Amino acid sequence: MTPRFRKLIIGALCLPLAWPAIAQPVGDPHLNVVPRTEVEAARVARITQPATRFDAPERFEANQGGAGTVRRRDDAQAFSLPQGNLDFEQQGTFAVGNGLFERLWVTAPASTIASDGLGPMFNARSCQDCHIKDGRGHAPAHGDDTALSLVVRLGQPRVPVDDLNRYLGAGPDPVYGHQFSDASIAGIPAEGRVSVDWIDAQVVALAGGQNVALRRPEWTLSDLAYGDLAETTAISPRVAPQMIGLGLIEAIPAADIMAAADPDDADGDGISGRAHIVWSPEYDRPMLGRFGVRATTPTLRQQAADAFNADIGIASPLRPDAAGDCTDAQTLCRTALDGNDAGQGGTEVSGESLDLVTFYSANLAVPKRAGVDTPEVLRGKEMFAQARCAACHTPKFVTHRLVDRPEDSFQLIWPYSDFLLHDMGPGLADDLPAGQATGAEWRTPPLWGLGLTEQVSGHRQFLHDGRARTLTEAILWHGGEGQAARDAFAAMPPVDRDALVAFLESL
């Protein structure tokens, strides 16, 4: 029995004990699911077992987004294609959602009620401003105060007093709220400016004589318009993530993700991933968090509503406060005119428009793998397995069989993530907890599309804050539960390290 399948059994046995106070089971209420038959479950178990041979690609491995996988383009549009298995009507819906994703919002009141309501404070005027070409955002350059494609989360750790508020995460800064806004509409001061100094952190010696310099960020929030931050407020800058494959991630059975959790490291392998159970205001129940750097959001629709509200200052049916993240201490912001309108269902973006943006976000296609059958990539895949990178970056899942989402239904996909929380050590910790996640825990990011980052986004910045300038640097920042894999990578002969990086670039 492999370590992963021991964890599946251990995790399933431990689930009822981990949440004794939750009356409702954690499931997938957002999906219209046809339960798997015993034959299907056995088939899924066989096909998702880890690879044991590395002399040839696995079956269907090149199509990492399942039947919706699209050709691998050689330009900046590689992440902007609809899934290849959408029908004609769905392609039209995707195009309308794309238009809303790119829409530049304006200040209310305006002549076009469907486009007004920006702010009063915000970070961007459109979704596309941060998710440029649907790819990764970027951190500012050294000393620059133009924080495009990046948001700064704020929070104060607090101790839960009952079963419900353990879902609430860190409390807001009393003046600046949960998110720092570096832009605003006329007449209302923005909260301030964001800048970073990149500091040489350490030089890591690798086997074979190679030395790699790591950098770390020192963030500054300056020109604060509403007084100082509270002394206990932690800050956490996050670069906008790439957008591909999100609907497929949403379609993975929660039980399959949760079954791999091993919060107490019962199998003794040093990996203790935790499922992040969060409270869903949309469904009024606990659900599995799947999205965000700490897996704090259970559905794409909620993710879209949260981004509209916090990043652009737009109210929606799920986040109806037109003042966004403005606090009671920011009087001008709380009393500013808003764009809520009966024609939009009483909010600034209607439920229909929110659904269109959600559909667009769900159906951005995963590109086909590159060089999947080349000797160097196959060797790198073997090194990836030997270093136990796959203990967190789980290669493959099979999605639910879905009644109303045939494009995501019963697909073998290769995201290379377990979507669990892992303690990554003090080097990456930001001291800002979220829900049940500590300030050192991060959701394993999916790796598909990794090799197209520079082509799409024009840079090679990795990790949550863009500190890593190469994939090698990103690996060397791994600590905590990732320390053993990091050390194994550092100890490899240069030819094997190069092969592992070539494998990652092929994704």
pLDDT band for position 425 (cuts 50, 70, 90): very high
Do the domain assignments include residue 297? no
pLDDT the model gives residue 167: 46
**Please, are residues 131 and 239 in contact by the beta-carbon 8 Å criterion?**
no
Task: Copy the structure tokens of residue 287.
Answer: 């659900």
Separation in Å, CA 247 to CA 361, 388, 397, 426, 495:
7, 27, 13, 32, 37
Do the domain assignments include residue 159? yes
Mean pLDDT score across all residues of the chain: 92
Task: Tell me: do 415 and 493 sit in the same domain.
Answer: yes
Do the domain assignments include residue 290? no
Do the domain assignments include residue 73? yes
pLDDT digits (tens, 9 = 90+) for 444-489: 999 999 999 999 999 999 999 999 999 999 999 999 999 999 999 9
pLDDT digits (tens, 9 = 90+) for 387-419: 999 999 999 999 999 999 999 999 999 999 999
pLDDT the model gives residue 159: 60
pLDDT the model gives residue 147: 52
pLDDT the model gives residue 140: 86
Task: Count CB-CB contacts under 10 A for residue 286.
Answer: 21
Do the domain assignments include residue 22? no
Task: Tell me: do 72 and 101 sit in the same domain.
Answer: no
Task: Tell me: do 110 and 79 sit in the same domain.
Answer: no
User: CA 115, CA 101: separation in Å to the nearest integer?
Assistant: 12
End residue of a domain, out of 321, 348, 375? 348
Q: How many distinct helices (H) and strands (E) make up the chain?
A: 14, 15
pLDDT the model gives residue 145: 58
Task: Tell me: do 487 and 404 sit in the same domain.
Answer: yes
Task: Tell me: do 445 and 339 sit in the same domain.
Answer: no
- DSSP state string for 349-367: S-HHHHHHHHHHHHTBPPB
Please give the residue that has the higher pLDDT: either 2 or 236: 236
pLDDT the model gives residue 23: 44
Strand partners for 217: 198
Task: Tell me: do 333 and 202 sit in the same domain.
Answer: yes
Q: Per-residue pLDDT for 15 more than 80?
A: no
Task: Copy the structure tokens of residue 133.
Answer: 């070409």
pLDDT digits (tens, 9 = 90+) for 182-229: 999 999 999 999 999 999 999 999 999 999 999 999 999 999 999 999
Do the domain assignments include residue 29? no
Do the domain assignments include residue 149? yes
Task: Tell me: do 256 and 334 sit in the same domain.
Answer: no
Task: Tell me: do 446 and 459 sit in the same domain.
Answer: yes
User: Which range among 19-28, 199-208, 374-383 shows the weakest confidence by mean pLDDT?
Assistant: 19-28
Task: Tell me: do 227 and 332 sit in the same domain.
Answer: yes
pLDDT band for position 170 (cuts 50, 70, 90): confident
Task: Tell me: do 150 and 215 sit in the same domain.
Answer: yes
CATH of the domain at 393: 1.10.760
Q: Per-residue pLDDT for 376 more than 50?
A: yes
Do the domain assignments include residue 384? yes
pLDDT digits (tens, 9 = 90+) for 224-282: 999 999 999 999 999 999 999 999 999 999 999 999 999 999 999 999 999 999 999 99
Average pLDDT over residues 291-301: 97
pLDDT the model gives residue 11: 35
Please give the residue that has the higher pLDDT: either 25 or 136: 136
User: CA 139, CA 468: separation in Å to the nearest integer?
Assistant: 11
End residue of a domain, out of 323, 348, 373? 348
User: What is the pTM (predicted TM-score) of this model?
Assistant: 0.93
Task: Tell me: do 265 and 392 sit in the same domain.
Answer: yes
Task: Tell me: do 171 and 249 sit in the same domain.
Answer: no
The parent domain of residue 416 ranges over 58-86+243-274+363-505
Query: What is the residue type of 389?
Result: C
End residue of a domain, out of 289, 323, 348? 348
40 CB burial (10 A radius; 0-12, 13-18, 19+): middle
Strand partners for 193: 222
Query: What is the residue type of 413?
Result: I
User: CA 216, CA 318: separation in Å to the nearest integer?
Assistant: 36
* Domains contained in the chain, number: 2
Pairing of strands 193-205, 211-222: antiparallel
224 CB burial (10 A radius; 0-12, 13-18, 19+): middle
User: Which range among 86-95, 130-139, 145-154 shows the weakest confidence by mean pLDDT?
Assistant: 145-154
pLDDT the model gives residue 338: 94
- DSSP state string for 411-450: -EE-------EEE--TTT--S--BTTB-TTEEEPPP-TTG
